[in-house]
Structure 1
Amino acid sequence: MCATNSFLKSLGVEIYASGHRRWPDAVKAQAVADTLEPGATVNAVAARYGVLPNQLSAWRRLAKQGKLVLPAAELDEPVFAPLVVCDVPEAPREPDIPASEEVIRILSGEVRIELAPGTPAARIAEIVHALGTSPC
């Protein structure tokens, strides 16, 4: 078994006798994240994972469209998400949602997420990043 196949199997890629591979979304996301590292190129990362560069580029397009969620970057220092404050038209309150002011609310289009006041800032930043929110 070649080193590339061993590496891919260790990541959870299914490799069939015909040579076809089944790539879990987590492995695709990691490959795309590797292309975003400083100095990395699509060609070099594609060679490491044993795929054609155009396949990796297709995965990158999926990530840009929000169809492939990338893993959070591991950084030694804190990273802050930009906060945009804007007026939001008052929407009618749904009766099943408590009127408590002690929650953190994230609104993005039709999506409404309510979090407990003790939610860590890193988790809030991950959610905002995953939603791909844009300024008002």
Structure 2
Amino acid sequence: MCAKNSFLTSLGVEIYASGHRRWPDEVKARVVADTLQPGATVNAVADHYGVQPNQVSAWRRLAKQGKLVLPAILAEEPVFASLVVCDTPPAVHSYDGRAADEGIRIIIGEVRLELAADTPAVRLAEIVRALGAAPC
């Protein structure tokens, strides 16, 4: 057995006598995840796994459509989400038509938090961290 087949078999790819391969979804997801690494190209990843680049592109489309679940990426350093801070226009009104008090709004999907403008930065960081850790 050649080294490439040995490598693929160790990943769980079934290789038939005809040369046909059956790729488990977990392995497809790993291949797609490898294409998302900084500096990676579809061609280089395809060559590494011994598969045609168009097949890797097809797996990427499946992942984009949510039909192929990619493995979680464990970051070695903290990952930060972007935070946009903007001035509130002066004509903003509350839901009941009164002028809105100045404050801090945190909106994540369906969750909307409104905090006092003098909320300490440490408390804001705790809230944002807790929202990021909350299960969906």
Normalising to structure 2: TM-score of the pair? 0.61
C-alpha spacing 1:84/1:7, structure 2 compared with 1 (3 Å): farther
Supply the distance in 1 between the matched residues of 2:38 and 2:27 (Cα, whole angstroms): 19
C-alpha spacing 1:87/1:24, structure 2 compared with 1 (3 Å): closer
- Give structure 1 regions of 4+ aligned residues with deviation exceeding 2 angstroms: 77-88
Q: Residue type of the partner of 2:40? A: A
Q: Give the CA RMSD over aligned residues.
A: 2.5
Paired residue secondary structure (1:37): coil
Q: Residue type of the partner of 1:11? A: L
Superposed CA deviations along residues 56-99 of structure 1, whole A, max 9, x for unmatched, are: 000000000000000011211233567744668xxxxxxxxxxx
C-alpha spacing 1:71/1:87, structure 2 compared with 1 (3 Å): closer
Supply the distance in 2 between the matched residues of 1:68 and 1:38 (Cα, whole angstroms): 21
Q: Unaligned regions of 5+ residues in structure 2, if any?
A: 83-105, 112-131
Structure 1 position 44 matched with structure 2 position 40: no
C-alpha spacing 1:87/1:59, structure 2 compared with 1 (3 Å): closer
Higher relative contact order (CA 8 A, sep 6+): 1
Paired residue secondary structure (2:68): coil
Give the number of aligned pairs. 94
Supply the distance in 2 between the matched residues of 1:57 and 1:2 (Cα, whole angstroms): 25
C-alpha spacing 1:86/1:14, structure 2 compared with 1 (3 Å): closer
Q: Could you tell me which residue of structure 2 aligns to residue 13 of structure 1?
A: 13
Identity %: 74
Normalising to structure 1: TM-score of the pair? 0.61
Q: Unaligned regions of 5+ residues in structure 1, if any?
A: 89-119, 128-136
Q: Residue type of the partner of 1:56? A: V
C-alpha spacing 1:2/1:80, structure 2 compared with 1 (3 Å): same
Q: Could you tell me which residue of structure 1 aligns to residue 76 of structure 2?
A: 76
Larger Rg over CA atoms: 2
